[in-house]
Amino acid sequence: MAVEFGLGVVGEGEDFSGWLSLPYRTPAGTVDIKYRCVDLSHGDHKGSSCPKYGKESGLGVHLFNARTLVGNADRVLLTEGEFDAIAIQSLAGYPAVGYPGVDTWKKQEHWRFCFDSVAEVVVVADGDEPGRQAAERVQESFNRMDLLARVVEMPDGHDANSFLVEYGIPEFRTLIER
């Protein structure tokens, strides 16, 4: 998984030292790198002085794992978040792309054009109200372009990653194949 997605840990003495690096790779190469704090003492980072994610200033917002869109014309799963895309593609075997945060798609609706050669887009909604609303906005943007997109909602309190961990690959595939 680390090799497939180019994941790494930032070395000592660098900005984001000790953080996980999440490269945003396209067919043309890496266009961005996002960093994730992995210090477990920060818990969920609510109330912590350390942010959960970081990135270099001045870079734009991109789709995570966009390179998987090349050559995957049948079905691609689209998630809110990098780790969901990583879990889906690595564990469940579906090509997966992530958008970084519930509010990013509505500001970047041109992203839908990246999927114009995909027969079906499955938008995997996090199991909370912001996740469901974001997935509906994404689906609507595809429908305006006459691309087939459907939403699969994760149960309350779950995203794709946590669902795969708790319920396993066969249960996840059952949700997707309905």
Query: Same structural domain for residues 74 and 96?
Result: yes
Give this prediction's pTM: 0.91
Residues contacting residue 30 through CB under 8 Å, at least 6 positions apart: 6, 23, 24
Domain count, the chain: 2
Q: Give the span between the Cα atoms of 168 and 170, in whole angstroms.
A: 6
Question: Do 75 and 13 belong to one domain?
Answer: no
Beta bridge partners of 123: 78, 151
pLDDT at 45 over 70: no
The per-residue pLDDT of the chain, averaged, comes to: 91
Res 10: pLDDT: 95
Q: Bridge partners of 20? A: 9, 36
CATH of the domain at 113: 3.40.1360.10
Predicted pLDDT of residue 146: 80
The span from the CA of 79 to the CA of 128, in Å, is 13
The residue-averaged pLDDT of 23-30 equals 89
pLDDT at 99: 95
